[in-house]
Amino acid sequence: MRSGWYILLVKPGYENNIRSLLLSKRITLSIRSVVVSNGYIFIRSSKINASNFLCYEGALKFLGVTKEGPRQYTDKEIQNINREPKKQVKCFKIGDHVIVKKGDLSDIEGDIISISKKIVRIKSLLFEKLIRTNVCDIDFLNRTT
C-alpha cells in the first residue's frame, strides 16, 4: 500500500509533545514523517490505526474519518491545504484560571467551575461570586503554552 498523509487534530499547545511521542515510536507505528502545523499534525504513513494515536493526551480526532478509518490524503492535497494559522480553538476545562477579555465584566479573573457549549461560569476572585460569560469572551491567565 502506498504511503499518504493523515491529519490529526490536536489541542493547541500539545502539538510538539505528540510529535515527540510519534517520532519515538516511528518504527512501531510505520511512520515516515511527522509535520506540525498549528493545531494539526500531518503524519505520513501507509496505514494508520486511529486507536494508536487518539490515546495521546491532547489528540482530538483524525480529519476525514470513514468506515475504513482515517482518510489518507495525497501529497497534492496536502500542498493545497492552507497552513496559515487559523483562529485557535480554546480548550478550557473546569479549574482553569481565566480572565474575562470582553464585555461589561472585562478584566475580572477567576476559576472556571462549569462549562456549557457557549457559556462558562467563573468563581470570581474579586467579588467571590459566580459570574456567567461567553466562552469567546475569556482567555487563559498567564498561559504558558
- For 101, the grid coordinates are 477579555
CATH number of residue 72's parent domain = 3.30.70.940
Cell 510538539 belongs to residue: 16
Among residues 80, 105, 123, the one where a domain terminates is: 80
Laid out side by side, the sheet with 119-124 consists of 130-134, 119-124, 109-115, 97-100, 138-140
- Structural domain contains residue 60: yes
State whether 104 and 130 are in the same domain: yes
Closest CA to 91 of 125, 57, 54, 64: 57
| Cell numbers standing for residue 130 | 459566580
What's the total number of domains in the chain? 2
69-89 pLDDT, tens digit each: 899 998 888 877 755 444 445
The distance from CA 113 to its chain's CA centroid, rounded to whole angstroms, is: 21
Q: How many CA atoms lie within 13 A of 91 on its CB side?
A: 12
The boundaries of the domain holding residue 74 are 4-80
Q: Is 132 in contact with 116 (CB distance < 8 Å)?
A: no
Q: Look at 11 and 79; give whichever has higher pLDDT.
A: 11
pLDDT at 142 over 70: no
> Which amino acid, one-letter code, is at 73?
Y
Q: Measured in whole angstroms, how far is the alpha carbon of residue 83 from the centre of its chain?
A: 15
Q: Is the pLDDT of residue 121 over 80?
A: yes
Domain membership flag for residue 89: no
The helix (H) or strand (E) run that includes residue 75 is helix 75-80
Residue type, 58: G
User: Percent of the chain, pLDDT > 90?
Assistant: 23
